Amino acid sequence: MKKRGRSTTTPLPTGPQTKSGLSDRLSMSVKTIQESYVGWDSAIHSNDKANNLCHAIEAIFLHGLKDSFANKISGYWSKKVLAPSFWQMLVKFSHKDVVSQLTHQKQVTTEVGQCRAWIRLALNDSLMGSYLEAMVADRKTMRYFYLDSAYLMDTEQPLIMINIIKGIEELYFQLAYNASALNLWTKTPLILAGHLVPNEPSAVAAHSGECDNTPSGSERLSASQDSPPKVYRIKTAPTGIIDNMKSTSVNQAEAEKSEVSALTLTITELPDREQKEVSQSNPPAGLTPDTA
């Protein structure tokens, strides 16, 4: 067995990112994985480096979602939580056996959890690049879910992402994808994709916790509800157009500490009309507008 290499400690971008910034974040995460595990004969399990990789991919899939998918609010732990979802899009490109596997897991019970589990399973199976190629080739279906300004609708960035992902296809991932902590988004991909902006106090509070490849992950997630909430401002109507947005400064030490944290958003006084989904017209064949 070869020894694991020593990785560099270049800080990862932490604020809202442009499309090229998301590619840079993914590239840095992949480079860290390569430096640590190329030539490594054992499986790569869920850890900080793998979580950073998953967060970068999650942010790319979240970037530029249309409002009816981006503005989802659902109930969890008797709270209101921000739950943007691209699960319906993933279903269109996934084999029925994969969809069945992810929808019948005991620990993963939300669309958010299915999105996050799908990413980890795709990495485990070395199929992420193949999925991306299919998505790039089917712009009609992708346009139903994403704005034209989205990362995955760009003419260049998805191809860059595919080339980056090819750099880790030979590695053996064994990431945990059936864990209750996956049922909520962590704040990192939401911030990177522009759905959540750390800023002034508001009615939105985030609690810490996240899963790893050990049973204690979900236990830490549950215990974290007693921690003092951190306050964020939500981007209530994400447009996906953040190419000209300046990166928001975030304390790096706190960002690294919360890289493995799950996000719970308590939303107060949310008008009922804002919880209604925006109907989409002219969907691809076999696809109906999403409902809450």
pLDDT per residue over 144-161, tens digit each?
Answer: 999 999 999 999 999 999
Confidence band, pLDDT 50/70/90 cuts, at residue 14:
low
**Angle, helices 19-37/48-62, rounded to nearest 10 degrees:** 160
State the first-to-last Cα distance of the chain, in angstroms, to the nearest integer.
Answer: 49
Q: What is the pLDDT of residues 166-199, one digit of tens each?
A: 999 999 999 999 999 999 999 999 999 998 877 5
Cβ burial 203-212 (10 Å sphere, 16+ → b, else e): ebbbbbbbbb
Residue 29: strand pairing partners: none
Q: Which two tokens stand for residue 14?
A: 């932490």
Strand ranges inside the chain, DSSP E: 73-76, 79-82, 196-197, 204-206, 230-234
Give me the pLDDT at residue 13, please.
Answer: 59
Please give the single-letter amino acid code of residue 254: E
Q: What is the pLDDT of residues 95-116, one digit of tens each?
A: 999 999 999 999 999 999 999 9
Cβ burial 25-36 (10 Å sphere, 16+ → b, else e): bbbbbbbbbbeb
Q: Which two tokens stand for residue 218?
A: 């979900």
pTM for this model (two decimals): 0.69
CB neighbours of 159 closer than 8 A, spacing ≥ 6?
Answer: 136
